[in-house]
Structure 1
Amino acid sequence: MISWLRGELLKSWQQGTYNVALLNCGGIGYEVYLNRRDWEDLPKTREILELYIHMLVREKQWTLYGFIEFDDRDIFREIININGIGPQLALALQTELRGPRLIEAIINGDLVTLTKAHGIGRRTAERLSTELRSRFVNLYHTNEVYLKQEGSIQGVLNDSDLVHDIQNTLKTLGYNKLEIQRAINKLKSKSSLVENSDFDVWLREALHWLSQRIN
């Protein structure tokens, strides 16, 4: 079972509704399917890329689905476990909604938000919410009261937007995807930053960590 890949990005392309990346890992080329959001954030060709992988095995075909964030892979797995919802619909949902927003929409039964994703109709959205709500409440330690409190899913949303801004800034400064990903993961593990949503503080910490790694 392949669960993670690290390698050189040889090529990326779109084929119909599919977003594809080809990774060279130890001389072997792996073709990986991504949601469009992650695909658009891929590094330049020949740069190193890390992806968390879900491997779907069918009778005559093995298909790899890749995710930049570990949690996104877990959300994908939960979605495709629902009868009648395949990988393409799951990727469409994750293209339209970032992880925290998708979790919030499913828990709250927000059909308007869920049906914004390509191919997701009202009945499918209702089934998503019905079958995954309690599962996501347990997985992400949330409930209806918690969602309304400070530090709720909305707080996670703000953090997600902050992280995205940091990623874009570091990318503009010339850091590659792998360096940025490692810096963000390091910052997320620092207890002093858990309650701090100040962009300048996060950026300063990221640059400090990156300078230590490079020098």
Structure 2
Amino acid sequence: MISWISGDLVDFWQTNQKFFVLINCQGLGYEIQILESFFLKLKKNQISNKNITLWIKHIKKEDSDLLFGFTSKEQKNFFIEILSIRGVGSQISMAILNKFSINEVINAIKTQNKKLICSVPGIGQKMSDRLILELKSKLKSKFKSEILFEEEKSKDELEIKDPEIIKLMEDLQLTLQSLNYKNKEIKTILPIIIKEIDFFAKKENNLSFENLLKLAMNYLDKDSSNLAR
């Protein structure tokens, strides 16, 4: 099974509403379907002969092998969760992620926004009902995103109005969960990270996801070592 691939970008193209890249990895050319957002980024920057890394979902069929590539592990895992819903195929799963971000889908599931889900081509009323019902259960148990699913949040915990900061914090929590940090531990350090955001923003515009992730991991690892003593 292919988990991820790293190689030189040879070409990228669009066929109808599908987007593809061709990657040269150790002399082999891998044709991979990607999300529209990544395709537009490649097109805008006119990137070629550049090494790129994609997280891969390999789907084997009787007459073909399909590769789907994502720029983050969270996108790949979310794609797999959507794909596991009965009656939802790979192209509908890609269509959902082409139209909405992960957080937009999660919020639609949380608020049972059937109209938004049905706006994706190929999804009707019955499928939207099934997606909302099954994904809500899966997301609570596997992603455990308290930022989005906790019904009662403490007022001082995540009182943020800037949508970019909200997105950073949501991505941070999902990434920490994927790195096997415990949800309770993550919850305790989030308010600390929020307080540090102004410092990073003022320090030579040094606010980035990578810096916040390093800071969060430092706090979490420090807490774990203190408990181990």
Identify the match of residue 101 of structure 1 among 95, 101, 104. Answer: 104
Check whether the contact 2:35–2:94 (CA below 8 A) recurs between aligned residues: yes
> Letter of the aligned partner of 2:150 in structure 1?
Y
Stretch moving more, 133-142 or 44-53: 133-142
CA deviation string 1:54-108 (max 9, x = no partner): 0001112110000001111111111111121111100110011111121221233
Q: Where does 1:88-127 land on structure 2 (aligned, <5 Å)? A: 88-127=91-130
How far residue 197 of structure 1 moved from its aligned partner, in angstroms, is 4.8
Q: Secondary structure of 2:150's match? A: helix
Check whether the contact 1:2–1:54 (CA below 8 A) recurs between aligned residues: yes
Q: Which has the higher contact order (CA 8 A, sep 6+)?
A: 1
> Letter of the aligned partner of 2:16 in structure 1?
G
How far residue 142 of structure 1 moved from its aligned partner, in angstroms, is 4.2
Count of equivalent residues: 182
Residue 35 (structure 1) aligns with: 35
Check whether the contact 1:96–1:116 (CA below 8 A) recurs between aligned residues: no
Residue 141 (structure 1) aligns with: 144
How far residue 204 of structure 1 moved from its aligned partner, in angstroms, is 1.5
Residue 5 (structure 2) aligns with: 5
Check whether the contact 1:100–1:157 (CA below 8 A) recurs between aligned residues: no
CA distance in 2, matches of 1:160, 1:30: 35
How far residue 157 of structure 1 moved from its aligned partner, in angstroms, is 6.3
Check whether the contact 1:7–1:50 (CA below 8 A) recurs between aligned residues: yes
- Say if 1:137 and 1:116 are closer, same or farther in 2 by CA, change over 3 A: same
RMSD (CA atoms): 3.3
Identify the match of residue 51 of structure 1 among 21, 38, 54. Answer: 54
CA distance in 2, matches of 1:123, 1:201: 49
Check whether the contact 1:107–1:136 (CA below 8 A) recurs between aligned residues: no
Check whether the contact 1:105–1:111 (CA below 8 A) recurs between aligned residues: yes
- Say if 1:157 and 1:98 are closer, same or farther in 2 by CA, change over 3 A: farther
* Structure 1: stretches of 5+ with no match in the other structure: 164-189, 210-215
* Structure 2: stretches of 5+ with no match in the other structure: 170-188, 212-229
Q: Secondary structure of 1:53's match? A: strand
Check whether the contact 1:107–1:132 (CA below 8 A) recurs between aligned residues: no
Matched, 1:200 2:201: yes
Q: TM-score, normalised by structure 1?
A: 0.72
CA distance in 1, matches of 2:115, 2:83: 21
CA distance in 1, matches of 2:161, 2:56: 28
Bigger radius of gyration among the two:
2
How far residue 158 of structure 1 moved from its aligned partner, in angstroms, is 4.3
Q: Secondary structure of 1:41's match? A: helix
CA deviation string 1:144-200 (max 9, x = no partner): 861553667x9896446459xxxxxxxxxxxxxxxxxxxxxxxxxx98984255583
CA distance in 2, matches of 1:94, 1:49: 20
Residue 185 (structure 2) aligns with: none
CA distance in 2, matches of 1:3, 1:108: 33
How far residue 119 of structure 1 moved from its aligned partner, in angstroms, is 2.2
Q: TM-score, normalised by structure 2?
A: 0.68
CA distance in 2, matches of 1:107, 1:96: 18
> Letter of the aligned partner of 2:88 in structure 1?
I
Residue 14 (structure 2) aligns with: 14
How far residue 123 of structure 1 moved from its aligned partner, in angstroms, is 1.9
Q: What is the aligned-residue identity percentage?
A: 24
